[in-house]
Amino acid sequence: MAYWELALIAVGLSMDAFAVAVTIGITSKNTAAANSVMIKRGLIAGLYFGFFQGLMPLIGYLLGTQFADKISAFDHWVAFVLLAIIGAQMVIGSFKKEEEKPKEVSMKLKKMLPLAIATSIDALAVGVSFAMVGTKIVPAVLTIGLTTFALSFAGVLIGKAFGGRFKSKAELTGGVILILIGLKILIEHLFF
């Protein structure tokens, strides 16, 4: 596999993580130390998403072709359910009174881990395909992980810039984005 093909795969795989990172930026509160806080949030999102986006193809590669049917049978449902639950919580939260709802998406393990897994689960199948075509897995994992890290970091900053203008609907928008990403994954796997 040519490097440019691998780079395109990496960008494609990282788009869901990028969209979630934009959502994280949109829902981030405005503080006096906004730049340093946003850089920290961008780094955290990038590390979670980049790590799992790189890990999933490795797992898929190691599982190999013998388990491809079992993985592809349910990966889209897992991603959909995780994203739909998190998105629905954000949508419901957007209708609470201002003093009741959280100001920003938590960057703690219990929130970030499901998001990182949900946005990277499709990469399992890519890892299986890497095993079938004989792709060198170490460069593939590094390219995918680093690309996702960079795009996720940028997504948080882009989301913050966008969210500052539309703060009143930011949480609703973020929740809808997560639900739509889940639907996209589900529809792609069921119909295409």
Under-50 pLDDT residues of the chain:
99-102, 167-168
Q: How many domains does the chain have?
A: 1
Whole-structure pTM value: 0.74
Per-residue model confidence (pLDDT) at position 31:
57
Per-residue model confidence (pLDDT) at position 85:
81
Per-residue model confidence (pLDDT) at position 133:
77
- Kindly write down the DSSP assignment for every residue of 145-192, as one continuous string: HHHHHHHHHHHHHHHHHHHTTSGGGHHHHHHHHHHHHHHHHHHHHHH-
Q: Do residues 11 and 151 touch, judged by C-beta distance below 8 A? A: yes
Structural domain boundaries enclosing 39: 3-191
- Kindly write down the DSSP assignment for every residue of 49-115, as one continuous string: HHHHHHHHHHHHHHH-GGGHHHHHTTHHHHHHHHHHHHHHHHHHHHTS-TTTS-SS---SHHHHHHH
